[in-house]
Amino acid sequence: MLSKAKYDHNISLKLSQVMDDIGVNKELVMKRRETNLLTEKIQTLIEILKYRNDITNYFLGSQSEGTTTEGLQSDYDILKCYNMVNVIQNIGDIKEDRDNYLMVTDDNTTKGYCYLRLIGSGKSVTGVDHDLIYTSNWLLRNILTLNKTLHGAEIHGPALRPQGDFIDTDIVHAFPCFSWPHSVSNWFDRKGLGGWPTPEMKRNCISKGFFLVPVGSKISTNQHREWRISTSIAERCLMFSLNITQLRCYVLLKMIANSYLTTENDTKISSFMCKTTLFHCIERSEPGMWRENNLYICVFVCLLQLRFFILSQKCPHFIINENNLMAGEFTGEEQRNLLCTLNNVVHTYGLGLFGIQIDNLGKRLQIKLNLIPQITGNKFQSLKEIREYVYLKLNINIFLNVHKGIKFLSMENEETLRFYIQTLINAREGGSLLDKKACTFVLQEIYTTLGSILASSNIGQSIPISHEALTCLEFDKKSSVSKIIKLASTYYCLGNLKNCEIILRHIQSKIEFADIIPVCGCYPNSVKIPKEFLAFCCKDETELQSYIAYCVRFHKSEFNCIPHELQYELFRSSQDDMKHRNGRDELWMDMSVVDLVPFLYFLQYKVYRHQKKPQETHNALFILMTYSAFDTGLSHKETVLNLLGQCYEDQLWHQEALKCYLSSLQVRKRNNVAKWHICKLLARIMQTK
C-alpha cells in the first residue's frame, strides 16, 4: 500500500495531468488572456467612437484570467469605468471639468463600502445621470441609471445581464478612484511568508487604482446609498502573477464549490470567495509548496482554510481585510450544511474529487490512477480537440464582438465616419501592439461602410464612382470575403455587370474551395462552432479573418448600392412594429441585412439573368433555394426567403413566391417586409386576371 507521502505525490501528478488534459495549461491560459484583452480594447474603442465619451471596458473574472474550462461555463464579467467622473478623498483634488464625488463614511457604513457625496452644484457636466438623495448632504444613490438602453436586462447585484447575450455576460458600471482608502494601508505593509505579493506587484496594483460599484452590503441598513469598493483590476494583476499550479488549484476549488457547496436556496461559495481563499493561502505559505507534484496538498490546504472561513462566517477580503465577504451570505442552517459537506470532501482524502462531473474530471482522474478502465465507447475529448475548440471559439468571439459593436458605427454619416477613421489612425500610430491590432479590426469595417456611402452618393448624382470610394471598398479586400461583397453590389447597381460577375466568381471560389465561417453580430446568439470549422483552429485571429463571412449590412445612406429587392428591408417596421423591437439589440432592423452566402447567389442570379445566361441563372437560383430550405444556420432567414420570393416573381412562379413570403412570416411575424410583398404579389395576380 502506498504511503501517505507517495499517495499525495502520485495523486498530485495525476491530477495535474488531468488539469492539463482539460485545458488548464499555460498555453490555453495565455490564449484566453490575450484574446480577452484584445476584445476589451475593441469594445472600448467602439464605445469611445460611438458615444464620444471616456469609458474604459475591462474584462474581468475567470474568462480574462484564463482560469476556466468549457465545463465550468464561466460568465463574462465586463466593468464599464466612467472616467469622466472624479471620485476623490480630499477636497483639493476637485476637477472643474468633471462630476466630482467625495468618498465619505460614517459609523453605519459597512467596511469596504462608502457613500458618494456630490461636490458642486449638482449639475452634471459629463452626461452621467445623477440620482441624489438628501440627508445632511447630497449623496448619490446606488441604483443603475448609468445605462438605460439595456432593454430587458436583468439585475444581478451591481451587474446588468442583457437578455440572451452571446455568452452569459454581467455588465457592471463603475467610477474610478486612484486615491486608495486608508483601510488598504495594512495590505500595502503586510508581508507574507513567501514574499507574495512582492512590493513591485503591490506598486503595480496601486497604480491601477480601484472602482466604486453601485451596490450596498446585504447587512447594511443603508443599502440604497452604499457603494462597494472594488479592487478587481488589482486582483487581475495578482492573478496574472500566479504559476500554473496555483491557477489549477483555483479552478479545482471552483469545481468543488460548484459540485458540492450548494445549499437548497442555491446559495453557494462564490468564485470570488475561492479566489480570496487562494490568495490568503499563497500569502501565508512558502513558494516551494506550489508545484505540480504537490497540487493535491495545495487544494487540501485551501479547503481547510475555506472551512475555517465558513465556520467563523468571516472571509476577509484579501486587500480590504475589514470587508467580510461572507457577511449575510447564508443562514445558520446553510452554514451547518456547507460545513458538513465540506468536511466530507476534506476527510475522504481525495475521493471527493472523483465525484466531480465537470469536464469529466472525476472519471478522468480515476482512469489516470488505474482505478477504472478506459471505456472505448465513452472516449473523452482529447487535449488536442479541446485546444482546437477553445482556440477557434476565442478567435470567433473577437469577430462577433467587432461585428456586434460596428453596427452602431455603420449607421453614421460620411463626416462622422471620416472622424472615426482619423481617430483610429491616430490611436493606432501611438498605441501598443494590442491597440494597433484592435484599431485595424475596427478600421476595416468603417472603411467599407464609408466606401459604400460615397459610391451611393456618386450613383445618386449620376457621376462615376470616385477613386476614394473604390479605394475604401477595396481596403484590405484580401482579408475577408465580407469586405468585397459590397463592391460587387455597387457594381451591380451601377450596371457594371462584368466587374460584378468577376468579384462574385472570386468570392464563390473562396467559398467552394475553403470553408468559410458565418458570423453575425445582429443577434445575441451563442458562439456555435460546427466540427468542420475546427480545421481553422491553428490560425490566429489575423489569419482567420480571411475565412470570416459577416452578414452584409446596408444603411439608408448606402441606398443606391443596394439591389432594389433588398431595399424593401429598410422599411420592414411599421409604427406598431417599432413597439415590439428590443431597443439597441435590434437597431440592425433599421438596415438591410442579409447572410453573405445567400446574397452572393442572389446577386449571381440577377447578373446572369440580365446577361441572358439561362443555365447559370438556373444554377444560382437552385443554390439560393437550397440555402433557404436547408441551411438552419442562417441568421436572417426571413430576408433570404423574401429575396427568393422576389426571384420566383421574376420567373412568374406566383404560388412559390407566396409560399416563400408566408414562410418568412413564420420566421419573423413582426418587423418583416414579407407582408408588403404579399400585398404587392396579390395585387399583381389580380391585375393579370
pLDDT tens digit sequence for 242-281? 999 999 999 999 999 999 987 666 767 999 999 999 999 9
DSSP state of 465: P
Task: Report how far residue 210's alpha carbon sits from residue 159's, in angstroms, rounded to the nearest whole number.
Answer: 17
Radius of gyration of the chain (CA): 29
pTM score: 0.88
Q: What is the model's pLDDT at position 133?
A: 58
Q: Which residues contact 337 (CB under 8 A, 6 or more apart)?
A: 263, 264
Helix (H) or strand (E) holding 518: strand 517-519
Task: Report how far residue 510's alpha carbon sits from residue 506's, in angstroms, rounded to the nearest whole number.
Answer: 7
Alpha helices in 53-146 (DSSP H): 62-65
Task: Please write the tens of the pLDDT for every residue from 110-125.
Answer: 999 999 998 875 555 5
Q: Per 3-state DSSP, what percentage of the chain is helix, strand, and coil (rounded to 5)?
A: 55, 10, 30
Question: How many CB atoms are closer than 10 A to CB 456?
Answer: 23
Question: Quick one: which of 28, 228, 21 has its CA closest to 115?
Answer: 228
CB 272 within 8 A of CB 325: yes
For residue 117, the cross-strand partners are 102, 139
Please state whether the peptide bond connecting residue 197 to the residue before it is cis, i.e. omega within 30 degrees of 0. Answer: yes
Q: Which residues contact 628 (CB under 8 A, 6 or more apart)?
A: 598, 634, 637, 640, 641, 644, 660
Alpha helices in 369-413 (DSSP H): 383-409
Question: Quick one: which of 46, 55, 49 has its CA closest to 420?
Answer: 49
Which DSSP string do the residues of 273-337 spell out, in sequence order?
A: HHHHHHHHHHHTS-GGG-SGGGHHHHHHHHHHHHHHHHHHT--B-SSSTT-BTTTTSS-HHHHHH
For residue 173, the cross-strand partners are 80
Cell numbers linked to 411: 449607421
Q: What is the model's pLDDT at position 135?
A: 55
Residues of the chain with pLDDT under 70: 1-4, 121-137, 144-168, 263-265, 267, 349, 375-378, 476-479, 513-515, 524-539, 584, 689
Q: What is the model's pLDDT at position 165?
A: 46
Q: What is the model's pLDDT at position 79?
A: 93
Q: Of all residues in the chain, what percent carry a pLDDT higher than 90? A: 53
Task: Report how far residue 676's alpha carbon sits from residue 663's, in angstroms, rounded to the nearest whole number.
Answer: 14
Question: How many CB atoms are closer than 10 A to CB 667?
Answer: 16
Task: Report how far residue 359's alpha carbon sits from residue 101's, in angstroms, rounded to the nearest whole number.
Answer: 46
